[in-house]
Structure 1
Amino acid sequence: MHFGASMFLTDYSMTPAALAKALEERGFESLWAPEHSHIPLSRKSPWPGGGELPKQYYDVMDPFVTLTAAAAATTKLKIGTGVCLVNQRDPIQTAKLVASIDQVSGGRFLFGIGVGWNAEEMENHGTAFTSRAKLVRERIEAMKAIWTQSKPEYHGEFVTFDPMMTWPKPVQKPHPPVIVGGAFPHGARRAVRYGDGWIPLAGRPGQHGDVFEVVPKFRAMLAEAGRDDAACPVSIFNAPEDLDTLKRYRELGIVRVATSLPAAKEDQVLPILDRWAALIRQVG
């Protein structure tokens, strides 16, 4: 089981380079960067975490920029979007971003994606909330064509383009893993249909079932679809700092757990990382 960490990287947090170095030195496998382009002031969409929306959601920097800085400062650490809001990004340009960051990192990019929860935010990008899931699926399908074909084309309801020439192609073949975020059962269904992994959250209020209950159900969905567990492994975000729970995740066959770090400087973050480094050694 691998260990990762996520942070809303801002102008008042640790820099992505400093955080990446600290993670790599302590045996972490990956750094994950979330994204929000902006938060509309209307605040009609409730935050799924419950309560007031944390300030870091307004302030987070672009993940492709911060993760490039993280990759340049490390040699082994994987870098991932946790998650990229594909429903708010042009698929042709995003395909080039993904391929480019996979190239400059030497094949270390993990493409975590989601469909989003903030209706007003995505509507500002021209995306209808009700059809966002189908839009994301088409955009991912289109990007896979761009990454794997010399003259890709795609024709769907929301995404359509004729044959084109576009490079670079990713280092990872056929492409960086598309790891789908989202709760059970809807996020799980999307992962089964077109993902190379699934990312449920641990411990969020309103989750559709506990991780230990839904992971077996997810694997049953994979089997029903004729897919192998190894082709679509489970990563857990927001993992608790608890040895017994982490060991249970390992026994459940979870491929990766990631802790959520505060958007803060070294004096707050490094002690947390040191505690996690001890847990990594204990879990083995």
Structure 2
Amino acid sequence: MRLGLHALGIGTGARREVIDAVAVAAEDNGFATLWSGEHVVMADRSHSRYPYADDGRIAVPAAADWLDPMIGLSFAAAATHTIGIATGVLLLPEHNPVLVAKQAATLDRLSGGRLTLGVGVGWSREEFAALGVPFERRGRRTAEYVAAMRALWREDIASFAGEFVGFEAVRVNPKPVRDRRIPVVLGGNSDGALRRVAAWADGWYGFNLDGVDEVAERTGVLRELCREAGRDPDELRLAVALREPGPGDGAALAKLGIDELVLVETPPEDPDAAADWATALARRCP
């Protein structure tokens, strides 16, 4: 069972000196991946329901610093050598997919092939409105954007004709390091999200799940959806974050076929405390 760390990009984790210290400490303590999420804008008064909390409200204050994950992770990659980096998640339908393909391939190249692109369809109507992007049909838009990006990564001269994006005979360089592919994992815990994972994603990032039992139920649904789609579920990369992870959870999740347990934590304000903090985290969930 690998351990991931979702701690960078927000609040204290948005400070350069903390990013450097936490990234190095996580690598030294054997963490597999550094995850960083995204919101382009936050609304002081949101009427949209946050899907990962029982009360429907996101815990991050609207006024908190929230880094662009591509830029923040580039600093984490520069401070380290081997640890993976992952967006967890980038709200893909809010972006131009040609530009994201370029940015992701650039970060993958500069990090030596360490990038996993975690994407999500989004939940905040206010955020989509601020960006001028339709909230409706965002799931279909996301699937098409991923297909377009894969074409740009794969082909020297790429063309794509879709409902939401199209281009003819264009070059986007550099190419990703690993066989011109970047793993694309999809976030979301709903049946709809799992159906998208089964249809076209390279993996799943389940977020803020309520313990091993919920993980077992959700992965059971995912495996059935994979069978219906004609895919082998064992080919997917499965990463989950629990609300309250504890001793023994790692072993239990491994039996369910989970590849990575992601710990969601706020890093210490003092960069000098990062090493001891990361060591304690690594020992929490054997």
TM over 0.5: yes
Shift of 1:119: 0.8
1:89 matched to 2:95? The reply is: yes
Distance in 2 (CA, whole Å) between partners of 1:40 and 1:64 is 22
Q: Could you tell me the percent identity over the aligned residues? A: 29
Residues 174 and 219 (structure 1 numbering): CA distance in 2 closer, same or farther, change over 3 Å? farther
Match of 2:105 in 1: 99
Matched-pair contact (CA < 8 Å) for 1:88–1:122: yes
Distance in 2 (CA, whole Å) between partners of 1:231 and 1:125 is 35
Describe how 1:130-209 pairs up with structure 2 within 5 A: 130-203=136-209
Residues 161 and 224 (structure 1 numbering): CA distance in 2 closer, same or farther, change over 3 Å? same
Q: Which moved more, 1:251-260 or 1:225-234?
A: 225-234
Aligned CA RMSD, in angstroms, stands at 2.2
Residue-by-residue CA offset, 1:251-273 (whole Å, 9 max, x unaligned): 11101110101154247765542
Shift of 1:18: 1.4
Matched-pair contact (CA < 8 Å) for 1:35–1:84: yes
Distance in 2 (CA, whole Å) between partners of 1:40 and 1:112 is 23
Residues 201 and 10 (structure 1 numbering): CA distance in 2 closer, same or farther, change over 3 Å? closer
Distance in 2 (CA, whole Å) between partners of 1:149 and 1:238 is 38
Number of equivalent positions:
278
Q: Taking structure 2 as the reference length, what is the TM-score of the superposition?
A: 0.90
Match of 2:232 in 1: 228
Residue-by-residue CA offset, 1:55-76 (whole Å, 9 max, x unaligned): 2774211111111111111111
Residues 73 and 56 (structure 1 numbering): CA distance in 2 closer, same or farther, change over 3 Å? farther
Match of 1:61 in 2: 67
Match of 2:280 in 1: 275
AA matched with 1:109? L
Runs (4+) of structure 1 exceeding 6 A deviation are: none
Match of 2:25 in 1: 22
Residues 10 and 87 (structure 1 numbering): CA distance in 2 closer, same or farther, change over 3 Å? same
Distance in 2 (CA, whole Å) between partners of 1:57 and 1:47 is 17
Residues 8 and 24 (structure 1 numbering): CA distance in 2 closer, same or farther, change over 3 Å? closer
Residue-by-residue CA offset, 1:113-143 (whole Å, 9 max, x unaligned): 1001111101222221121111111111110
1:37 matched to 2:43? The reply is: no
Q: Which moved more, 1:45-54 or 1:265-274?
A: 265-274
Residue-by-residue CA offset, 1:15-57 (whole Å, 9 max, x unaligned): 3221110100111011001011111334121333234642277
Match of 1:12 in 2: 12
Distance in 1 (CA, whole Å) between partners of 2:164 and 2:265 is 36
Distance in 1 (CA, whole Å) between partners of 2:65 and 2:197 is 29
Partner SS, residue 207 of structure 2 = coil
Shift of 1:232: 1.4
Residues 135 and 58 (structure 1 numbering): CA distance in 2 closer, same or farther, change over 3 Å? farther
Match of 1:218 in 2: 222
